[in-house]
Amino acid sequence: MNSIEQSRNLTQQLTYELGCAIVQGRYGEGTGFPTEAELSAQFNISRSVTREAVKMLTAKGLISSRPRKGICVQPAHQWNMFDSDVLRWTLSTEPSLQLLKEFTQLRFAIEPEAVALACQFATDQQIAAIGRALERMAKAERGEDDPLDSDIAFHTSILEASNNRFFLQFCDFIQAALRISIACTNQLKSIRTASESDHRAIYEHIARRDVEGGREATRVLLCEVMDLIMDSLESAKSAETLRAALV
């Protein structure tokens, strides 16, 4: 490995470690953050590596760096949640039901329309790709494929089949969020795999070029996810109320 590749790897590793520390709350909002010199000493790496890591974290909205004010952690609402790294760190650290709720709300805004566009503009090859992802889900139910990867492949193949350049930009974001969201909702349902039959309904509407049927089938699937999250939020709220009453 040459020096440039090594420096890039060190920068990515430091960015990951600091990013996780920020979303875990180890550095408080608006409080002082280690200087580049302090980070270099702490991690025993060069100033150029720490400088690049600070730039990356700044671009992701996690920190701000200003002359004479130093480096500060930004409020969570200023973090770039469309950055797949930020989303992954946040969800992996503490996959809160509230955050899953907000992500599902975004899915309602994106996925039914992506399916509608796929019904209209997907090529035969793209529809076949959705079908292959669906078959992977069927194999996953039989223990012959990875349930999470196959589920994610199905949803991202629909985004690709929309042939909308803006929706395509969501692929990395959706993949990162679904990896945590699907695992959490499956755990809440006490199941290991998603329902292949529910997803098949969406595929069949796309294959028939049935725009409204595709939209509705997608909404039905997302409503099931949202209902599960809302029920869990309500249960958590009831449990918290009971604990407070017993104190």
Which residues, 6+ apart, have CB-to-CB distance to 13 below 8 Å? none
Would the pLDDT of 246 be above 50? no
Q: Which of 10-19, 27-36, 75-84, 209-218 has the highest mean pLDDT?
A: 209-218
Q: What is the CATH number of domain 3-77?
A: 1.10.10.10
Evaluate if residue 94 carries a pLDDT over 70: no
Q: Stretch 29-55: mean pLDDT, rounded? A: 89
Average pLDDT, the chain: 87
Beta-carbon count within 10 A of 87 CB = 24
Which amino acid is present at 213?
Answer: G
3-class DSSP state for residue 94? coil
CA 224/CA 58 separation, integer angstroms? 37
* pLDDT tens per residue across span 203-214: 999 999 999 999
CA distance 115 to 162: 7
DSSP-derived 3-state class of residue 34: coil
Task: Report the pLDDT value the prediction gives residue 139, as an integer from 0 to 100.
Answer: 94
Domain boundaries, the chain: 3-77, 95-246
- Where is average pLDDT lowest: 70-79, 182-191, 197-206? 182-191
CB 241 within 8 A of CB 138: no
pTM of the model: 0.78
For residues 89 and 21, is the Cβ–Cβ distance under 8 A? no
Task: Residue 227: count other Cβ atoms within 10 Å of its Cβ.
Answer: 10
- In this structure, of 78-82, 90-94, 143-147, 152-156, the range with the lowest mean pLDDT score is 90-94
pLDDT at position 240, please?
56
- The pLDDT > 70 percentage for the chain reads 89
Compute the distance between CA of residue 118 and CA of residue 67 in angstroms, rounded to an integer.
49
Higher pLDDT, 18 or 7: 18
pLDDT at 243 over 70: no
Residue 137, amino acid: M
Question: 174, 160, 46: which is closest to 103 by C-alpha?
Answer: 174
Residue 200 above 60 pLDDT?
A: yes
User: What pLDDT does residue 190 have?
Assistant: 67
CATH number attached to the domain at 95-246: 1.20.120.530
